[in-house]
Amino acid sequence: MGPVSSSWSFNKFFAIVCVVFAISGEFVAGYYRPGPWRYAHATFYGDETGSETMGGACGYGNLFNSGYGLSTAALSTTLFKDGYGCGQCFQITCSKSPHCYYGKSTVVTATNLCPPNWYQDSNNGGWCNPPRTHFDMAKPAFMKLANWKAGIIPVAYRRVPCQRSGGMRFQFQGNSYWLLVFVMNVGGAGDIKSMAVKGSRTNWISMSHNWGASYQAFSSLYGQSLSFRVTSYTTGETVYAWNVAPANWNAGMTYKSTANFR
């Protein structure tokens, strides 16, 4: 047998390394890069406490407990994409308004939907009507960009990597025959295209998209430790979170993994 080429050896070595890290649960996908700058408008909802921003269409619940705080925004339908926009991060700066705090920008996470208002013109109150691109921000986030009395401001925005501390978090709901999982603290592109769950006594089971950032499996999984396979909506990259929940897992609990996108 002839000598093995150096390129073949490198490719084989790289593939082996990827498999080893995937099996260990520490595999990290390629770094997500910022996108191009685009233009939109922004408003705010709620008050300085952010109480009205809690919950939301993505299903993150108490945004302080889930790690997002008040740096959040509700997206217009165009950006929300039936919930696949949940968790995405946007850098926003005020643009071409006397109310702007120039030189200031902030990064927000998409946690909610700003629904259309067909009773108002898209350029006069129906700010979130399709096909408009719009951010309805938590008031504290808005106040980093402009005087809140402006009400609505033109903005420049771009997608940026979500900088998260630690791994993804999986909040369980449902029962022993129906598992509903809300996924939080997703790094990298921040979003999810698809998920699968693996019990300690099963093969991989595809999960269907329920709503927002939640995925469900109609299987009897109680009494098994659970692992998850998560694929990004934007990049198509996949991360494995092994042995996230113990065999005695319960609905209502949140389980932390060490795996995440970057």
Can you list the domains of the chain with their CATH numbers? Answer: 38-159 (2.40.40.10), 169-256 (2.60.40.760)
Q: Which helix (H) or strand (E) holds 119?
A: none
In 3D, which of 32, 28, 29 has the Cα closest to residue 87? 32
* pLDDT tens column, 81-117: 999 999 999 999 999 899 999 999 999 999 999 999 9
Question: Is residue 23's pLDDT more than 70?
Answer: no
Q: What band does 65 get if pLDDT is binned at 50, 70 and 90?
A: confident
Q: Where are the beta strands (DSSP E) in the chain?
A: 38-45, 72-75, 89-94, 105-113, 134-138, 153-160, 169-175, 178-184, 194-199, 204-209, 214-217, 226-231, 238-245, 254-256
Mean pLDDT of all residues belonging to the chain? 88
With a cut of 60, say whether residue 126 has pLDDT above it: yes
Residue 5 pLDDT > 70: no
- Span 182-210, average pLDDT: 97
Q: What is the pTM of this model?
A: 0.85
Average pLDDT over residues 166-186: 95
Write a three-state SS string for 251-262: CCCEEECCCCCC
- As given in the structure block, the two tokens for residue 8 are 């073949």
Nearest to 262 by CA among 190, 184, 208: 190
pLDDT at 72: 97
- Residue 2's pLDDT band, with cuts at 50, 70 and 90, is very low
Q: Most confidently modeled of 14-18, 46-50, 200-204, 219-223? A: 200-204
Q: Where does the pLDDT of residue 123 fall: very low under 50, low under 70, confident under 90, or very high at 90 and above?
A: confident
pLDDT of residue 145: 97
**pLDDT surpasses 70 at 193:** yes
